[in-house]
Structure 1
Amino acid sequence: MVLAISFLEAPLKFRAPGVTVPVGLGIGRLVFRALNRVETVFAVAVTGAVAAGDPPVSVVVPAGGAVVVLAAQLLVIRPGLNRRSDRILAGEDLPRSRAHLLYIAAEAVKVLALLALGVSALTA
C-alpha cells in the first residue's frame, strides 16, 4: 500500500488531465488520511504481536523502526504539510516545500523497514 500510494498515486495524480493543484491536494489528503489510518491499525497489530511473542532482534528492530517512522510522519511531518495545504487551498501561492521531501524520505525508510521486517519474519 505504501509503495502504491506514496510512490505511484501521489505523483501521478497531478499529471492527470484537468487535475488542478487544489483538486490534487484534496485527493491526496483523503488518500493519505486513509492510508495512515490503515497503517496505524497495522502498527498496533504488529506492536501487539511483537510484545506478545518472543521474536528475534531481527524482527523487533525493523518493526520498531517502521512504527517510529510512522509516528514521526503522523505527529511531526503531516501536521506541517496539512497547514501548508490549508494555506494553498485558501488561495496562497507558496513555493515548493522541503517537508514533502522529508515525508518521501520517511516513506522510503519505512518501506525498507517493512521489507526487512517481512524477510526477517519469514526466516525467523
Structure 2
Amino acid sequence: MTTTAALAAALIFLWLGMVLAISFIEAPLKFRAPGVTLPIGLGIGRLVFRALNGVEVVLAVVVAVALVVTGPGPTVLVAFAVAVLALTGQLVAVRPALTRRSDAVLAAGPDAETLPRSQAHFVYVGLESVKVIALIAAGTVLLAG
C-alpha cells in the first residue's frame, strides 16, 4: 500500500468515526442530558453539525485528491462517490429544511409541541446511514488493496 493510499484510508476512517460519534451517539443523547432544553439542544445541534459538515467537506476534498494520486479500483471510487453524494444531499437539501424547522420550533416557544413532525430528520439519518456504509466499503476495500 502506498503512503497516499494509507492516508486516504486513514482519513476515510477518521470521517467515519466522526459521523458515528456525532450523528449516532452525541445527537440523540444530548436531549436526554439534565437541564438541556429544546432551544439549547437545537442550538448545540446547529453548531455541532455545521462544524461536522465543514470537516466532512475538507476530508472529502483531501481524500479525493489522495484517490486521484493513488488511482484505486472502481469499487473504492464508487463507494467514495456515494459518500460524497450523500453528504452533498445533506448539505444542499436536508440541512436547509432542518434549519427552517428548528427556526419554527424556536419561534413557537412553548407551542412547539403543536407543530407537525418533520420528515427531514429521517431523511438526514437515512443519508447518514448510506454515508456510513459507503465509507466502510471505501475504506475496507482500499485497505485490502
**TM-score (structure 1 length as normaliser):** 0.95
- Correspondence 1:27-38 to 2 at 5 A: 27-38=44-55
Say what the alpha-carbon RMSD is for the aligned residues: 1.1
- Correspondence 1:9-88 to 2 at 5 A: 9-88=26-105
Deviations 1:64-99 (A, max 9, x none): 111111000000110110111111112262232111
Q: How many residues align?
A: 124
- Is the partner of 1:119 in helix, strand or coil? helix
**Gaps in structure 2 of 5+ consecutive residues:** 1-17
Q: Point out the more displaced range, 59-68 or 86-95.
A: 86-95
Which residue of structure 2 lines up, in the alignment, with residue 95 of structure 1? 116
**Gaps in structure 1 of 5+ consecutive residues:** none
Which residue of structure 2 lines up, in the alignment, with residue 112 of structure 1? 133
- Is the partner of 1:90 in helix, strand or coil? helix
- Quote the sequence identity (%): 59
Q: CA deviation at 1:53?
A: 3.2
In 2, the alpha carbon distance for the partners of 1:9 and 1:82 equals 19
* Bigger-Rg structure (1/2): 2
Q: Larger relative contact order (C-alpha < 8 A, sep ≥ 6)?
A: 2
